[in-house]
Amino acid sequence: MPPLTIGRLVPAWALLALTSHASNAEPLPPGFVRLRELAPAIAQDIRYATPFNFTSAAVPGYGRGECVLTRIAADALIRVEQRLARQGYGLKLFDCYRPARAVAAFNDWGKRPDAPDRGRIFHPGIARGDLVANGYIAANSSHSRGSTVDVGLVRAGETALPTPVDAGPCDGPPATRPRESSLDLGTSFDCFSEKSALRHPGVTAEARRNRETLAAAMAAEGFRGYGKEWWHFTLAKEPFPRTAFDFVIE
**Domain presence at residue 15:** no
Give CA–CA dist 143/228, Å, rounded: 16
Would you give per-residue pLDDT tens digits along the chain (250 residues)?
333 333 333 444 444 444 445 546 789 999 999 999 999 999 999 999 999 999 999 999 999 999 999 999 999 999 999 999 999 999 999 999 999 999 999 999 999 989 999 999 999 999 998 998 888 998 999 999 999 999 999 999 999 999 999 999 999 999 999 999 999 999 999 999 999 999 999 999 999 999 999 999 999 999 999 999 999 999 999 999 999 999 999 9
Q: What is the pLDDT of residue 20?
A: 47
Q: 131 lies in which domain range?
A: 28-235
Q: What is the pLDDT of residue 26?
A: 80
Is residue 239 within 8 A of residue 54, CB to CB? The reply is no
Edge-to-edge strand list for the sheet holding 89-95: 43-44, 89-95, 148-155, 229-235, 223-226
Q: What is the pLDDT of residues 170-209, one digit of tens each?
A: 999 999 999 999 999 999 999 999 999 999 999 999 999 9
Do strands 43-44 and 89-95 pair parallel, antiparallel, or not at all (unpaired)? parallel
**Domain presence at residue 123:** yes
The pTM of this model reads: 0.90
**Residue 229: active-site member:** yes
Which residues neighbour 173 within 8 Å (Cβ) at sequence distance 6 or greater? none
**Domain presence at residue 90:** yes
CA angle 39, 41, 44 (to 5 degrees): 90
**Domain presence at residue 134:** yes
**Domain presence at residue 215:** yes
Q: Could you tell me the CATH number of the domain that includes residue 64?
A: 3.30.1380.10
**Domain presence at residue 96:** yes
Q: What is the pLDDT of residue 6?
A: 37
**Domain presence at residue 137:** yes
Selected catalytic residue, list 81, 229, 238, 250: 229
**Domain presence at residue 38:** yes
Q: How many domains does the chain have?
A: 1
